[in-house]
Structure 1
Amino acid sequence: MVEFSRRKLLGAAGAAAAAATVGTTAACSGGGGAAAGGDYDPPAFQPAPELDAQPYYTSETPGMESVYTEYPKSYFKSVDRDPGSGGKVTSFQLTWGDPATPLEDNPYWQELNERLGVSFEPQFVPQPVFYQKFATMLASGDVPDLVFVDDQNASCLQGIRDGAFADLSETFSGDGILKWPNLAARKEEIWNASLKDGRIYQVPSIVWNLTNLPIMRTDLVDQTSIGRAPKDADELFTMLKEVSALGSGPGGQKVYGFSKYEPIPFYRLFKTGPEWQLNGDGDLVHMIQTENYKTMLERLAAAWSEGVFDPVAMTANPADIVSGSALAWDAVGGVVSITGLSQKEADLPGATFDFFDMPGFDGSGQLVVRNVPYGRSTCVSAAAAEDEDRLTEILNVLDYLSAPFGSEEQMFIANGIEGEHHTVDEHGIPIVDTERLVEMGVQYVGVTSGDNSYRVHPNQAQWTDSFVAVMESMAQHSIVRPLEGLEAASQTFIAKGAQLKQQWDDFERGVITGRESVDDLQSFVDGYMSQGGTQVRDEYAQALEDAGK
């Protein structure tokens, strides 16, 4: 664990050390910049007003965010403009569950329209069919005003390349973006990382650099000879095997070292680095071509045969996982929320949890690859943007929907009407009526802006120091991927990336479970590269050269 004191500012030396472990990889970071795409200035950065709350912890380590344990005492107003003209603004947006309650029966939607001054008319698209429907929408030529875009997906990238969405470079150039203060509340590196051919086609969300971390069952690992802090892969797998050997835990639940296979924790453990990385000679290579990746496959195949994993750990159906797990992979937003680890303990009396600091396989630190520095994005219809007044109104709507945490607008967007959709508890935290949540799925086309801190709910107070220590350790051992901001530079990746990824995932899981052999790794690599990997590599290598990296 990293030692720290409350509100201590830690330096970035750890991050520099982590970067040094992979040679030139970390040096080739950052975005493509605006210069490659024409004569416009990067959008001006105007930070959101500071929160009316004191941070519990701040850090200077790249990749680490501030941590808050209290909500703001007051809220600022982020939008100071007249409502819209009363026209219509349409959207194409993702839903994970049921679509929002219809407008006529939805007080939240009605209030949103009143605040926006427009008739907001979203098209709700279920997640399982989103990309299929996205392609159909593009083919129809009828593109809604605001469109949720996943630019890591080939169909979405193709839509950008085909001109379905507006080029906002001149609109947002320099101080031009200050007309929309919430959209201006993102730093230049976030814009740079999301550029396509040096141009702005999407408004990107700010995101945490680190969004997932391991958690451990302390009631299980405390019974092992290793305990909670294994120093390397040997000690880690010893701990995991001893947990599986316990057989069962509280309530008679069957337990294993790992109940579900998740690749990223093991990529970090074995320091495999980014998917595409620069080797010691400065050549671009894929992770599967590295010795660390081969070592990972060998060790995980051995661990599988020794019973470290639940036999159903490769399932795609979460309902199949009923066993307990010494270690698990979880989302930061969930484990520090109102439920979090406290709810996990309440659900299984006798089980205890904490955050886990993953070691490096060789006794040094792990290697964490930071996320692309932006998340979900929204694009504007190119057809709608042809009318300047219409474009302004559409961006006004997006600006409101993208209000930052700590603002009056975001308080309403996220929590609805006080007394109807939410109440405020003794900590000043809004508690949303879960039965009314379905009303509030109207606005999932906004982009996250402003404050990007981790917010730990008071229910998780006993784990705050542990959370900070593990997240700080991850940040200190993190690097930026060399292709950041250049992901769309490979047309072959756009066309074949999903297929190649599936082949890779199938082979990896096959080796671990014994269906494939690690002895066939080179043969798999040769096939992967011949079926498109070589073209992807060459296109990315050219993009790196063109960007001067």
Structure 2
Amino acid sequence: MTNVSPRPFRPSRRAVFGLGATALAVSGLAACGSSSGGGSGSGGFEEQALTLPTHVEPPVPEGGIASEVEGMPMIFTSPLKEYFTSVDEAPGTGDEVTTFQVLWGAPPRPREQNEYWQALEERLNVTFTPTLTAADGYNDKFSTTIASGSVPDLSFVQDTDAIGQRALADGAFADLSEVLSGDNILKWPNLANVSTNAWQVSAKNGHIYGVPNENPFLTNFPLVRADLMRRAGHDSMGSTAEEWLQVMTDIAGLGTAHGKQIWGMSTIGGNEQAMFEWMFRAGTTWQLDDAGKVTNVLMTDAFEQVMEFEKQLWDAGVIHPDGIGGELPDLFTTGQIALTIDSFNGFFGNPIIGQVVDSTPEAEPEFFVPPAFDGGDIVIQRDDGYWGIVAISAEAAEDEARLHALLGVINYWRAPFGSQEALFIGSGTEGVNYEFGPDHEVVGLEDEQADADRAALQWLGAFNSPIFSIGATLTDYVDNFRTTMEQLVSATVPNPVAGTIAPSAATLNAKLDSLNEDYRNGFITGRRPLSELAAYREAWLSGGGQTLCDEYTAALDEAS
């Protein structure tokens, strides 16, 4: 499984296809105001020069496959034989440490009955007192907690949410810019493993207010049934968009294969729309025009090319006839769809690959790099690099020794994969939550209560850098996955408005998403002629799109 966290507060990367979804463009906040450097926040985000923390690559445990491509996680294909120590001594001083964190499942038993809780306190040398709040009520509870004036020592802050932004701007949390700048961060070696990209994107006008929960550069990517590709007479997915279209047309033209009715693709949703934008180099959802103003991919010539291409796919019968505007069951794992797009956890953790091969033994899933329309390079929007931060209360940070101890607690929590600390945080205690199998694999003991106790407490909100762990039954796909992902990750470009927010987005998103869906589906199916693209753009701008562009532009201008 990829070592990444759940992300319930974020909509999909391109909700509907993202033209009205601000969350695609926000993973951080560049706002305005004033703040002091060093140990405590005084309110606001006045622009300041930031010395980014020194980056140190996490250690590569034996068997790990590290990449030289920035943003490509390490790959592991077999259980670790040994676990190293990343924290030499407990970070705490025996005092109480309070937290505010997400509760994803059932609440834990009280400390006296909870072996994970007791072991955590012993390892950290603290009295651990968490406030656990379910995801669906998290922001409301966070707001009331901040308003009470009693801010926990450590809090997971969803800093793209207005409530989180206001708490940071109002000085509820410590400005960590100075204490973590440059080589200062080396006092907490596991924090130094955070990528430079994550620090940059999560900083607020040059201020670091917390340790970011890091994401991979790319979270969704395509996989094709190579057996169907070859059955249709092709040995690759082509080197241009025209060739790609021919391959998919020929696959759809098979009609049946291995005794099953087949189609090329089930739909053209958000992930598929993104892939076609890669192919036509449409760029990021929000981008800067020649005058330095924020505009949307909808306004580009490449977007029109994408619409024309998707109409060709529909006309060629590549898309399932019920795949536009309808609801379809999962046809890929049943062996009836040639191409799908999903995440690492979907392909290897679910696992989609294993399911399609089980249902169709002749299936040969293969990852691939979609060709650019002209045979050149593709352009992929990079994930914004993190989701939320673990922040330290301004009050707790007034005492330098306590500030350092709290950073030590986060440092323990963010221990790298392969360490004893990360094993404990993620899996619990040997003999209570798991045991080692014959190949030294971690085998759960299926004690639901013990696992619930662990799961309830472990999600502080800052974990080790993402990794890809591929189980023994799927190792035949490792080389193809690795080489494909390195090419895809290398093609990612950052979102130019990552770190900004459009205040009106919350009220405009639903309206714009509905507009987007209506026009795009109309273009694809022929219900609307492509000559209405100008009307679509005007409707989008007048319906709130221009407001969002202006707000992003103003935010960038203020930050710079």
| TM-score tier (shorter) | 0.7 to 0.9
The answer to whether the aligner puts 1:466 opposite 2:480 as a matched pair is yes
1:271 corresponds to which of 260, 264, 281? 281
Query: 1:82-113 CA deviation, whole Å, 9 max, x = no partner?
Result: 45344433333334444455545443233222
CA distance in 2, matches of 1:348, 1:95: 39
Contact 1:355/1:467 (<8 A) preserved: yes
- Following superposition, the deviation at residue 467 of structure 1 comes to 0.8
- The answer (yes or no) to whether the contact 1:341–1:354 under 8 Å persists in 2 is no
Structure 1 pair 134–533 and aligned structure 2 pair: CA distance change class (3 A): farther
Q: Tell me the residue number matched to 1:497.
A: 505
Secondary structure of 1:216's aligned partner: strand
Cα gap change, 1:265 to 1:127, in 2 (>3 Å): farther
Residues of 2 paired with 1:191 and 1:427: CA distance? 37
Residue identity in the other structure for 2:52: P
Task: Find the residue that maps to 2:504 and give its secondary structure.
Answer: helix
Q: Is the 8 A contact 1:421 1:433 kept in 2?
A: yes
Identity %: 32
Q: Structure 1 residue 53 and structure 2 residue 62: aligned?
A: yes
CA displacement 1:461-509 (0-9 Å, x = unmatched): 211111122112213433233334xx23x5xx1x223444444433333
Q: Match for residue 24 of structure 2?
A: none
Partner secondary structure for residue 172 of structure 1: coil
- Matched residue, 1:429: 441
Decide which of 207, 211, 228 is 1:199's aligned counterpart: 207
Query: CA separation of 1:336/1:281 partners in 2, compared to 1, >3 Å: closer, same or farther?
Result: same
**1:85-484 superposed matches below 5 A:** 85-100=93-108, 103-139=111-147, 141-226=149-234, 228-246=236-254, 252=260, 255-259=263-267, 261=269, 262=271, 263-279=273-289, 284-304=294-314, 307-310=317-320, 313=323, 320-322=329-331, 324-337=336-349, 339=351, 341-346=353-358, 348-433=360-445, 436=448, 437-441=451-455, 442-449=457-464, 453-484=467-498
Q: 1:74 pairs with 82, 102, 105, which one?
A: 82
Give yes or no for contact 1:243–1:257 (8 Å, CA) kept in 2: no
CA distance in 1, matches of 2:108, 2:233: 52
State the 1:328 CA deviation: 1.3
Structure 1 residue matching 2:179: 3-state secondary structure: helix
**1:23 corresponding residue in structure 2:** none
Instruction: Supply the distance in 1 between the matched residues of 2:135 and 2:257 (Cα, whole angstroms).
Output: 36
Q: 2:326, 2:427 → 1: CA distance?
A: 32
Go from structure 1 to structure 2 and tell me whether the alpha carbon gap of 1:258 and 1:125 turns closer, same or farther (over 3 Å shift): farther
Q: Deviations over 1:124-148 (max 9, x none)?
A: 4444444455445445555433222
In the alignment, the residues of structure 1 paired with residue 297 and residue 90 of structure 2 have an alpha-carbon distance, to the nearest angstrom, of 52
- Between stretches 297-306 and 357-366, larger displacement belongs to 297-306
Asked if structure 2 preserves the Cα contact closer than 8 Å seen for 1:337 and 1:460, the reply is no
Q: Distance in 2 between matches of 1:119 and 1:305?
A: 64
Task: Give the Cα separation in 2 of the matches to 1:333 and 1:178.
Answer: 32
Distance 1:265 1:142, change over 3 A: farther
Cα 1:197–1:215 change in 2 (3 A) is same
| SS of equivalent to 1:170 | coil
Change (3 A) 1:383 1:344: farther
Match of 1:169, SS?
coil
After superposition, what is the alpha-carbon deviation per residue over 1:344-395, rounded to whole angstroms, capped at 9, x for unaligned? 4235544332212211233333211222233442222334434545434433
Return 282-291 or 139-148, whichever deviates more. Answer: 139-148
2:519 corresponding residue in structure 1: 511
User: Relative to structure 2, which stretch is displaced further, 459-468 or 106-115?
Assistant: 106-115
Gaps of 5+ in 2: 1-28, 31-36, 38-44
Paired residue total = 508
TM-score, normalisation: structure 2:
0.77
Q: What's the CA shift for 1:431?
A: 3.2
Q: CA RMSD in A?
A: 3.7
Per the alignment, residue 92 of structure 2 pairs with 84
The one-letter code matched in structure 1 to 2:310 is L
CA contact (8 A) 2:60 2:66 kept: no
SS at match of 1:147: strand
Cα pair 2:282 2:303 within 8 Å, conserved? yes
Segments of 4+ in structure 1 off by > 6 A?
314-317
Deviation, structure 1 residue 410 = 0.5
Which one is further off, 202-211 or 385-394?
385-394
Q: Shift in Å at residue 282 of structure 1?
A: 5.5
Structure 1, residues 396-448: CA drift from partner, whole Å, max 9, x if none? 32221111112110011112222332233454432334654433322112413
Confirm or deny: 8 A CA contact 1:154 1:497 kept in the other structure.
no
Change (3 A) 1:365 1:117: same
Distance (Å, rounded) in 2 between the aligned partners of 1:328 and 1:464 = 18
Question: In structure 2, the residue corresponding to 1:474 is in which secondary structure?
Answer: helix
Q: Which amino acid aligns with 2:211?
A: V
